Amino acid sequence: MNLDFALKDFYRKRKQNFPYVLAISLVVGFAEYFTLFTLNIGFRYMIPGGNTNNSLLLGGIGVLYSQFNNLIFYMVIALSVVVTTLTATTFILSKKRDLAIMRSLGTLPGNLHGFYLVEVIVIFFFSYAIGLMIGLVSFGIHMGIAFSLGLRLQIQSSMIYSLIHFCCCFSGVIILPGWALMKLGKQNIIKSFSKDMQYDYDASKKMELVPRWLSRFGYNLKMALINTIRRKGEFKRYMLIFSTIFAIIFSIGLGSFVMGTSTSYWIKNAQGEHVVVIGHENTVRYYSQMYRMFSDPSISVGMEDINFTNKDYLFDFESLSELELLSKIQLIDKRLVSFCNITEATRTYGITIENPLERTYGFATIGSSRTGYYPVIGVNPEALISNFEIEGEFLPNNSSVVVGDGLASQFFDDALKQGIKINNFSYGPRVSGIVIDSLYGGFAVYVNLSKFQSLLGYATDINLILLKLDSALDKTFETNLKSIINNNLGSNFTYRVLDDVFNENLNFLIINSLYPLIFIAILGCVGLLCLYNYQKGGLVDKARDIQIMRAIGIKNKHARRILFFEVLFVVVPSLLLSLALGMILNALFLFDRVQLPSIIVPFVLILVLGGFAFFFSYLGVIPIVKKINQVSIKNYEVF
């Protein structure tokens, strides 16, 4: 009986139910699309060329992007629950007149609860099914584009996440609308005819301080205030929806800005601009490729590709001492690079075990003795070009090493509490620091140059020199540099400016920080729909009010302004609330070792968001006024 009534009522009033179905379907579709996007594409696969390099962005930058994705994911789930719950509640409140009529005819409150709660559940299931289809189709289109660009990805199912999402939304649909139904079932029948307006609203009552102050700015503003106060419940529901949508858009926009600024800053410090590398042509080529591995997953350099310590690649810096006479050079960074067999050193330490009866002592071991071949780079800390973002210390002595963030996250359990064993030399230094690095995707190891030379059995030999220039390379400097290299090292040695590689890595980070714009566009559409439905809600009541005002001489332009001000009273507080909420969420999820933007940036973002909201709010008023003009007197008692 309940299901039969729900299906018939749903079909009978399908035109009125369509906005509810559409609102739920869009947020469910967006949540499903984003879940699939995060699982299968995400920020790590936004460029063509395959995915042969599994080390891509597995370090500190990857952690930042993962935190950002988690922030969006949780907020999207929250948005789905909020919109679904409040849409279902609004649907129940729109049935107040029907409930009152059925109760006056003798229908028991318990039966009414069953009738309309089942109808809410039917609308939810129908909307959720459409939303899933929208999400799957949207992601299918996105995947088609990805495959056409050369990406080859293993598709992962989102079934578990979809089930969690469904349970959260379904719980919201049952709890709040169910509570609203129980409350309406006990309400006086006469009071139920007031629909979403307060049954005891007194128009002669003086406004409170703030509304009274605002009402002095014109008749249109005063009427909009009165209408908003009359439908206070509707105002609160839509304010919560708008606040959630605006908070997500603001958080995504601010987070994208923070990520782009921070990651670019970190890589700029790690790699540097106007850097020239000098060495054997093979050494220079593969060393520059090791930097390109950061942004191009198709590149992989290993010990089978090049032996950096080949005697033909080594040279003494003294043979290039003329470089110190060139005025354009700010810093000379001597390096010795070699692939080495590295083992993660385990560490055992004492721990205190607390239990209800006594305190005991035991031992814990960190590390799994992982082994692999990675580039070890001997550097002089005092003449280092890179100004790494570092946790810990950079080579305080000869018995320490520094590892890249990718290696720290994938090769160690807790890098700063452990060490490594360079098996080639039975050398076991501790890890003194972790750096955010673009070289070899963050999987390089840095050691003191003099110590590494002694381990390899070289007195002063190196295989690379990095020059930090004060500006871009010019022809005069290039001619002098070529002459010094050819005269002292031979024709097999060369140089290369690394600015093109640096720009590739920088552009890669900038592009990846822009992908959330997709979600901002989708959320913007959802927000516009909510703005439209806010105006469309209670359409007949608004039509009655406006036609009464027309009878006393109001013009169409005043009606549009009144409706526009009604939207502003929801949008403005929502924007302010979203500014505070977005700042808090970004601080909790992202503001850890990142480059904070100027305090002006969040306010500029919220002003831009507010500008779009005001513009589209005004445009949305136009079709609403046209619909009001089409509503006749006979429609007043139908809804």
Q: Is 588 exposed, middle or buried (0-12, 13-18, 19+ CB in 10 A)?
A: exposed
pLDDT of residue 210: 52
pLDDT of residue 279: 92
- Count CB neighbours of 166 within 10 A: 17
Q: Side chain identity at 65, as an amino acid letter?
A: Y
Global pTM value: 0.72
Residue 353, beta-bridge partner list: 360
pLDDT of residue 43: 45
- What is the distance between the alpha carbons of residues 215 and 568, in angstroms, rounded to a whole number? 14
**Confidence tier at 48 by pLDDT (50, 70, 90):** very low
- Considering the chain, what is the average pLDDT of its residues? 77
Look at residue 549 and tell me whether its pLDDT is greater than 60. Answer: yes
**Confidence tier at 212 by pLDDT (50, 70, 90):** low
Look at residue 46 and tell me whether its pLDDT is greater than 50. Answer: no
Q: Side chain identity at 50, as an amino acid letter?
A: G
- What is the distance between the alpha carbons of residues 527 and 113, in angstroms, rounded to a whole number? 31
Residue 118 and residue 91 in contact, taking contact as beta carbons nearer than 8 Å: no
* pLDDT higher at 197 or 532: 532
Q: Minimum mean pLDDT among 173-187, 319-333, 444-458, 623-637: which range?
A: 623-637
> How far is the CA of 388 from the CAs of 271, 300, 432, in angstroms?
9, 23, 14
Look at residue 587 and tell me whether its pLDDT is greater than 80. Answer: no
Look at residue 624 and tell me whether its pLDDT is greater than 70. Answer: no
**Confidence tier at 136 by pLDDT (50, 70, 90):** confident
Residue 340, beta-bridge partner list: 374
Q: Tokens 């006056």 sit at which residue?
A: 104
> How far is the CA of 82 from the CAs of 28, 89, 155, in angstroms?
11, 10, 30
- Among residues 453, 456, 410, which one has the least CA distance to residue 434? 410
Burial 99-122 (b: 16+ CB within 10 A, else e): bbebbeeeeebebbbbbbbbbbbb
* pLDDT higher at 452 or 540: 452
- What is the distance between the alpha carbons of residues 127 and 27, in angstroms, rounded to a whole number? 10
H helix runs in 359-491, sequence order: 405-411, 449-456, 475-488
Question: pLDDT by residue (tens digit) across 239-249?
Answer: 887 788 888 88
Question: pLDDT by residue (tens digit) across 72-93?
Answer: 788 888 888 888 888 888 777 7
- Count CB neighbours of 148 within 10 A: 9
pLDDT of residue 428: 85
Q: Side chain identity at 380, as an amino acid letter?
A: N
- What is the distance between the alpha carbons of residues 379 and 314, in angstroms, rounded to a whole number? 15
pLDDT of residue 394: 92
Question: pLDDT by residue (tens digit) across 520-538?
Answer: 777 777 767 766 665 565 5
Look at residue 354 and tell me whether its pLDDT is greater than 80. Answer: no
Look at residue 636 and tell me whether its pLDDT is greater than 60. Answer: no
- Among residues 445, 602, 508, which one has the least CA distance to residue 61? 508
- Among residues 166, 165, 159, which one has the least CA distance to residue 77? 165
Burial 563-579 (b: 16+ CB within 10 A, else e): bbbbbbbbbeebbebbb
Helix (H, G, I), strand (E, B) or coil at 598: coil
> How far is the CA of 629 from the CAs of 58, 221, 622, 635, in angstroms?
59, 21, 11, 12
Q: Tokens in use for 613?
A: 């909201």
Helix (H, G, I), strand (E, B) or coil at 432: strand
**Confidence tier at 215 by pLDDT (50, 70, 90):** low
Q: DSSP assignment of 557-588, as one string?
A: HHHHHHHHHHHHHHHHHHHHHHHHHHHHHHHH
pLDDT of residue 579: 83
Radius of gyration of the chain from Cα atoms? 33
* pLDDT higher at 46 or 14: 14
Helix count and strand count (H, E) for the chain: 19, 14
pLDDT of residue 88: 82
Look at residue 150 and tell me whether its pLDDT is greater than 70. Answer: no
- What is the distance between the alpha carbons of residues 394 and 253, in angstroms, rounded to a whole number? 34
Max mean pLDDT range (55-69, 307-321, 347-361, 569-583): 307-321
Mean pLDDT score, 404-419: 87
**Confidence tier at 638 by pLDDT (50, 70, 90):** very low
pLDDT of residue 73: 80
* pLDDT higher at 62 or 28: 28
**Confidence tier at 470 by pLDDT (50, 70, 90):** confident
**Confidence tier at 205 by pLDDT (50, 70, 90):** low
pLDDT of residue 314: 92
- What is the distance between the alpha carbons of residues 26 and 31, in angstroms, rounded to a whole number? 9
- Among residues 279, 89, 67, which one has the least CA distance to residue 177? 89
**Confidence tier at 275 by pLDDT (50, 70, 90):** very high
Mean pLDDT score, 205-219: 60
Helix (H, G, I), strand (E, B) or coil at 108: coil
pLDDT of residue 359: 61
Residue 161 and residue 76 in contact, taking contact as beta carbons nearer than 8 Å: no
Strands 400-404 and 430-435: parallel
Look at residue 627 and tell me whether its pLDDT is greater than 80. Answer: no
- Among residues 579, 624, 619, 583, which one has the least CA distance to residue 242? 579
pLDDT of residue 340: 92
